[in-house]
Structure 1
Amino acid sequence: IKEKIQNLDQLILNAMGFEAEFIIRKEIGFPGESIRSELILTNPTDLPVQNFSFAVADAQFPLDRAVQSNNASTLPINFTLSEIADYSQPYWLEKPIDGALYQVRNPTQIGDPFNQPFVAGNLSFQIDSESFSLDLPLMYKYNDQVDGEVKQPFVIVPEVDLELSSNQVFLVGGADPTLTVTVNFRDKFLEGDLYFEGISQDQFRVLSVEDIPSQKKRVFKVAFLPNGEGKKNLTATFATPEGKVYNLITKRISYKHIPNLTYFTPATIGLIQADWKLSGSKIGYIPGAGDDVPGILSSLGYQVTMIGEGDYSVDYLSQFKTIIVGIRAYNTNSDLANNQQAIMGYVRSGGNVIVQYNTSSPLLTSQLGPFPFTIGRDRVTVEGSPVVGEWSHPILTSPNQVTEEDFAGWVQERGLYFAEKIDPNYQTPLTMQDPDENASSGSLIVGKYGEGTYVYTGISFFRQLPAGVPGAIKLFVNLIEQ
């Protein structure tokens, strides 16, 4: 009944053309901030709307006038956000993701495309002695030169948030052990210290601190010290003397066809210390559909150069120890497909090429490697499924020994679009399979061609490397170092 009454009330207001807006001239606020907003009321009819009262954040704002005859009334609404106001985190991200599953605290929210408004007021009024009530979300309103009047939800963010120069730091010979942490202040600079949850204060050094007043930023450069092999997950944290702790990164998704979405992730870093052998050589990277592998390789100490149009002469390519082809490049990069002979000439002359997965259709060239193979539909979706390897194969022993233990802790999947109908000139050192499915040896194929080496792999390195999976990174280093 309550819902039907609300619908009838809204029908009456719509028929009258009555409008009420609760608006602000900025999109973002933080807990404890003083907010300056407006309530705008418009009634195009001669029937007076009166006895207004507006409530928001425990404050009441009466309006002792009637609104009628298309005369808009504007009431300043100044209030303060609670010091403990919730951030505008999407409900499906309030709790940590469990693998690939979102944990929703309130099951009644499941299916809602967006959160309920984080800041809203209640407007009550009378029309011809009948009482009405409207809940009004606070909206950021502005005029766009192309789209005209635009409204976006007002969101609450931390007063202080962080940015990281990298999500992975490697304590490996030749790698850069430093990290830049930028602390952003929404209001004024706050005194405080930076530390990392997961390690003690004596396991890193602050190399420099720089304030940038014009941008309200404080930039810390830190260096991590050796602290034992393996991977540690750290959280960068800025703490004030008053005990306030800030450790979130603010992220935004903005498209014209949906409301802007603001969300927050912990400022986590994967710190990996390992006794890996790697050369730090020059690597050429041919972009495909887009991935984050080049950044990880740079963090490992490799000198990564993106290869573009006009870079496909054998002389130019010969400067690189290895050329890596990004995911789906043969589906999307026509420059690569048109210069396939140059890539094969580079391999024949002693180069090393690693081709990451492509889909089987559409391919811009039918000959991906020096010897025939096709791209099938095989994939292994269980990230912890067993892997059988020829552990004495050079790919798995040089320069670092890869073992079955290196396939633990992978994320989301093993790989996809494995090779099929593989020419005998290729070797297949790994066999993978999902439970109760047929085994596939097409996840990694290796072939010698002339003086060089060619690799096609459907292994999901584009997922594993950004996630900081040590075993996958070690295997990829071996592929580079052939």
Structure 2
Amino acid sequence: MKRGRLAAKLWTVFVCTALLFSLAGQIAPSTAYADRGAIDLWKSIKPLTTIASAMNTGAHPDDEHSAMLAYLSLGQGVFTSSVIANRGEGGQNEIGSELGNALGIIRTRELQEASKITNVHLEHLSEKLDDPIYDFGFSKSPDETLAKWGESVAYERLIRKIREIRPDVVIPSFLNEPSTHGHHRAINVITVRAFKDAADPSVYPEQLKEGLEPWQIKKLYVPATEKDYDVRIPVGDYDQIYGASYVQLGEESRFMHKSQGMGRNYDEGPSYDYYRLESSTAPAGNKQESSFFEGIAFTFADLAKEAESKQGGQAVAQQLKLLQKDADEVIAAYPDFAAVAREVHEMKSDVNAAISRVNASSLDHPTKVDLLHRLEVKADQLNKASLEATSIVAKLRPESGELVAGQTAKMTVTAYNGGTLPVENVQLSLRVPAGWQLKALTNPRFAKLNPNATATVTYQVSVPNNAATFDPYAKPIVVAEMRYEAYRSMTAVTIAPEETVAVLPAYSLSLDPSETVLNTLKADQPIPVNVTVKNYRPGKAKANVSLQVPEGWTVEPAQQELTFGAKGEVKSLAFTVHPSATVSNGSYTISAVARDGSSSGSRKVQVIEYPHIGKTYYVQPATLKIQAFDLHIPDKLKVGYVSSGFDNIDQYLRQLGIQVDELDQKAIESGNLNQYDTIVLGIRAYGFRPELIASNQRLLKYVEDGGNLVVQYHKPEDNWQPSLAPYPITIGTPLIQWRVTDESSKVTMLAPDHPLFTTPNPITEEDWNHWVQDRSAYNPSEWGNEYTELISNGDPGEKEFTGTFLTANYGKGTYTYSSLVWYREIPSLVPGAIRLFVNMISLHQ
């Protein structure tokens, strides 16, 4: 009786593990590349040769040790996972203007695509939009990071991932040392602590009640140097099958992080990544180990020896030895697809038999749980290997990837047999969320699928009226499953749709502007608001659109009707909002609402689409944020803006009523610069607008002739040279030590009577309040005596910087260099930052 209950519990653990790895088993559609076929087959069968696993932990997308992961996963076949804390929401964007959650969505998709290249299982600690574990910007302290994330939240999620994935080896990407980003340090801190705690049943015991089991990591490694290491990973080794070294394969994945400008080209040749053993429960070995897995079971043969040494493990050991033979035969059959398919399916049958043997054995409970987990991982890998070896191409094609609540649409599942082996008992099914209705319009079962034949099933899918809208961080809401039989064993694989399937609002409402300033010195001026409406309903539709405004405000007209002839049609409406006569300083919100006979909505769909990540969506409230405060702006101020593509400050200046011209290459190289009162260079402009270097003397001549040049922060690698400024300015290095991350840190105005603090807006201490994310980045370490130091500022307990905000007369004009993070403050409508920026672009001798 006791054995029966134990077997039932182990089966529950087995099922939970199967659910865990169901996502890993999804076969996502991909573009056909030259490395398909035999290389993809090898990529699927190499993992069958080892039962070892490793986990790499990091804070942000791009923190993964890509070369090391490529070596372990692609080179050794190790089940390799990457656990990343946040989504990178607080970073910069080198491919577009998306910031915040929209940038987090991009970076998440980039990391997903990067992980596909290295065959790495990806997990995040951050689970949803606006999650407590978010990228709030640069931090110098792990304590600050964990306090903002919620230490118990972050730690519980990490322990959960470790207990779910059960890695033999864990490697945090960074050390906990002062020269490192606080987010990186925080992940190191909790990863090191988890080495013991993940195995302690008293730590988060509620996880055990859910079916998870404690897990003791066998080894914990941390990054090291060539001078002091325990193991070096030969990432420079050349893999003849892939035709590249593991460094090159890792960089191929890093090139997917395009929003961060990642990826480098490396030549062939020896190179190593170095790691130090921090903690271990494995038998002690040599000081310098041959691999991460020295002293740890790596193959089925190793696992058989361990089982054989335990009471009741002899029969299981024999089955594990058979699996070792199976794995060797799979590899030996490569690259003959049919032969590999036969060996894979024989191994599938033997894995199923091994699972039965383990369940029937008298092995101790922890050993059973461990063996079942490893066998389930292998079963999942065998399913993918079968699909590659049989050359089955399965696809899920929705009639439309953009659905709305209440809609009925068709979705087609196809399976093409591109191999030489017929497969039998084929079933093509569809999985949809609870509450959705599903009907197969054609028979989903096929007795046989012969070579060069296609099986097709069409489903009718009905979305319920209360369906949740699209979540970019959730698993696909609709997937297909293909099951088939070959060599008397079944294979089941999950197929993601060829395009994102998203439930979207019936109408997307976009307000222009989406943020604006209400100048209380001119409160009687109306606010023009344009609302762009996109129809996502299939066919014709009609909706009434109105604005919800603060109490005491009015809007003309009260509402407007729109008629759409087809899905995807876009129309625009113009409204005029009149603030109340007594509007005071503060924040206000205007919402757009669309109503038809069956629904009412106030949401905006931001389509995010780039070639390397495809299309996804960010659904958010359809609002206009208004910040009301007093602001003086000189009449007829004319500004030339040189954008690097990383900021959109020029758009906000136009909203203020300032004439701003975007300066292109021709304007910079040969245009009349003297027509502008001020020229502003966007952040890092010298690094991304190469014409600036060649034309820098023109810019300095513009200043000398009486112009006002404003230069925002640069990194040294942005082609910055001290001589680009009229008087030398050197950027401080290392960069981590030359920034102020506390947005609430005290600011002292060193030259309070300078025009920058008086004209046209008087700047007070209040103007330094309510800043967001950071104060400054990449501050200068040296500068000429000609500059006036405008402010002193630093993080609490650290030396203050006085080179953050510098200005100097040059000839008849003025030159200002500022490391303040205007590109974050201006779009956030921080009143003091906007006042100060207006003063900066109004400055003249």
**Does the 8 Å contact 1:210/1:220 carry over to 2?**
no
Contact 1:184 1:217 in 2 (8 A): yes
* d(CA) in 1 for partners of 2:652, 2:506: 30
Q: Which of 234, 251, 261 is the matching residue for 2:589?
A: 234
Q: Distance in 1 between matches of 2:620 and 2:427?
A: 45
Match of 1:284 in 2: 640
Asked if 2 retains the 8 angstrom alpha-carbon contact of 1:162 and 1:267, the reply is yes
Query: Matches of 1:243 and 1:68 in 2, distance apart?
Result: 45
1:166 lines up with 2:513 in the alignment: yes
Distance in 2, matches of 1:205 and 1:51, equals 58
CA distance in 2, matches of 1:235, 1:392: 38
- Which shifted more, 462-471 or 74-83? 74-83
Deviation at 1:20, TM superposition (A): 4.6
Partners of 2:669 and 2:381 in 1: how far apart? 69
CA distance in 2, matches of 1:444, 1:153: 46
1:456 aligned to which of 801, 809, 817: 817
Change (3 A) 1:362 1:275: closer
Greater Cα offset, 181-190 or 168-177: 168-177
How many equivalent residue pairs?
Answer: 446
Counterpart of 2:447 in structure 1 is 66
**Cα gap change, 1:350 to 1:78, in 2 (>3 Å):** same
Question: How do 1:76-475 and structure 2 match up within 5 A?
Answer: 76-91=458-473, 115-121=474-480, 135-137=494-496, 139=497, 151-172=498-519, 177-187=527-537, 188-196=540-548, 199-200=550-551, 202-206=553-557, 211=562, 213=564, 216-227=569-580, 228-240=583-595, 244-279=599-634, 280-312=636-668, 316-363=672-719, 365-376=721-732, 377=735, 378-389=738-749, 390-475=751-836
- Tell me the SS of whatever aligns to 1:298: helix
1:118 is paired with a residue whose SS is coil
Partner of 2:149: none
Q: 1:123 Cα shift?
A: 6.0
Question: Relative to structure 1, is the Cα distance of residues 53 and 401 closer, same or farther in structure 2, using a 3 angstrom cutoff?
Answer: closer
Check the 8 A contact 2:590/2:624 in 1, yes or no.
yes
Amino acid of the structure 1 residue aligned with 2:686: Y
- CA drift of 1:458 comes to 0.6
Deviation at 1:273, TM superposition (A): 2.5
Amino acid of the structure 2 residue aligned with 1:343: L
Distance 2:445 2:708 in 1: 79
Shift of 1:252: 3.2
Task: Name the structure 1 match of 2:27.
Answer: none
Say whether the 8 Å CA contact 2:606–2:619 is kept in structure 1.
Answer: yes
CA distance in 2, matches of 1:459, 1:205: 40
Go from structure 1 to structure 2 and tell me whether the alpha carbon gap of 1:319 and 1:86 turns closer, same or farther (over 3 Å shift): same
Shift of the 312–47 alpha-carbon distance from structure 1 to 2, 3 Å rule, reads closer
> Contact between 2:608 and 2:615, CA under 8 Å: does it hold in 1?
yes
Matches of 2:614 and 2:388, distance apart in 1: 23
1:36 corresponds to: 410
Greater shift after overlay, 47-56 or 282-291? 47-56
Alignment check: 8 A CA contact 1:252 1:261 kept? yes
Deviation at 1:383, TM superposition (A): 1.1
**What secondary structure does 2:834 align onto?**
helix
RMSD of Structure 2 on Structure 1 (CA): 3.2
**Structure showing the higher helix proportion among its residues:** 2
SS of match in other structure, 1:283: strand
**Corresponding residue for 1:143?**
none
Deviation at 1:381, TM superposition (A): 1.0
Give 5+ residue unaligned stretches, structure 2: 1-13, 19-375
CA contact (8 A) 1:209 1:219 kept: no
Stretch of structure 1 that moved more, 397-406 or 420-429: 420-429
Q: 1:68 to 1:277 in 2, by over 3 A?
A: closer
Q: Which moved more, 1:64-73 or 1:298-307?
A: 64-73
Preserved CA contact (<8 Å) 1:51 1:126:
no
Amino acid at match of 2:553: D
Shift of 1:357: 1.0
Q: Which whole-Å deviations, capped at 9, do the CAs of 1:385-437 have from their partners, x for residues lacking one?
A: 11111433321111111111111111110111223323232211211101111
Deviation of 1:355 after TM superposition, in Å, equals 1.1
Give the C-alpha shift of residue 233 in structure 1.
4.4
Query: How far apart in 2 are the matches of 1:53 and 1:458?
Result: 57
SS in 1 for 2:553: helix
| Cα distance change, pair 217–51 in 1 and its aligned pair in 2 (3 A) | closer
Q: Secondary structure at the match of 1:388?
A: strand
> Structure 1: how far apart are the matches of 2:459 and 2:651?
47
Look up the equivalent residue of 1:460 and give its one-letter code. Answer: V
Amino acid at match of 1:372: P
**Distance in 1 between residues matched to 2:490 and 2:698, nearest whole Å:** 78
Residues 543, 562 of structure 2: 8 Å contact kept: no
CA distance in structure 1 between the partners assigned to 2:426 and 2:833 by the alignment? 68
Q: What CA deviation, in whole Å up to 9, does each residue of 1:107-147 have, x standing for no partner?
A: xxxxxxxx31112355677789977765554x2xxxxxxxx
Displacement of 1:6: 5.7
CA offset digits 1:7-29 (Å, max 9, x no partner): 66666666555565432243322
2:706 match: secondary structure: coil
SS at match of 2:447: coil
Is residue 731–residue 781 contact of structure 2 (8 Å, CA) maintained in 1?
yes
Q: Contact 1:168 / 1:271 at 8 angstroms: preserved in 2?
A: yes
Bigger CA drift: 220-229 or 424-433? Answer: 220-229
Q: Give the partner amino acid of 1:168.
A: E
Return the structure number with greater relative CO, CA threshold 8 A, min gap 6: 1
1:100 match: none
User: In the alignment, residue 347 of structure 1 is paired with which amino acid?
Assistant: V
- Normalised TM-score (structure 2): 0.48
SS of residue paired to 2:784: coil
**Distance of 1:10 and 1:449 partners within structure 2:** 67
How far off its partner does 1:196 sit?
3.2
Q: Which runs of 5+ in 1 are unaligned?
A: 92-114, 140-150
> Conserved in 2, the CA contact under 8 Å of 1:231 and 1:470?
no
What is the identity, as a one-letter code, of the residue corresponding to 2:527? P
CA distance, structure 2, for counterparts of residue 64 and residue 324 of structure 1: 65
- SS of 2:691 mapped into structure 1: helix
Q: Distance in 2 between matches of 1:347 and 1:52?
A: 70
Return the alpha-carbon distance in structure 2 between the equivalents of residues 322 and 287 of structure 1.
14
Q: Give the counterpart letter for 2:650 in structure 1.
A: P
Q: Equivalents in 2 of 1:14, 1:325: separation in Å?
A: 52
Distance in 2, Cα, partners of 1:31 & 1:200: 32
- 1:353 alignment partner AA: L
Q: Relative to structure 2, which stretch is displaced further, 295-304 or 30-39?
A: 30-39
Using the alignment, how far apart are the partners of 2:629 and 2:796 within structure 1?
Answer: 31
Greater fraction strand? 1
Provide the identity percentage.
Answer: 25
Deviation at 1:82, TM superposition (A): 1.8
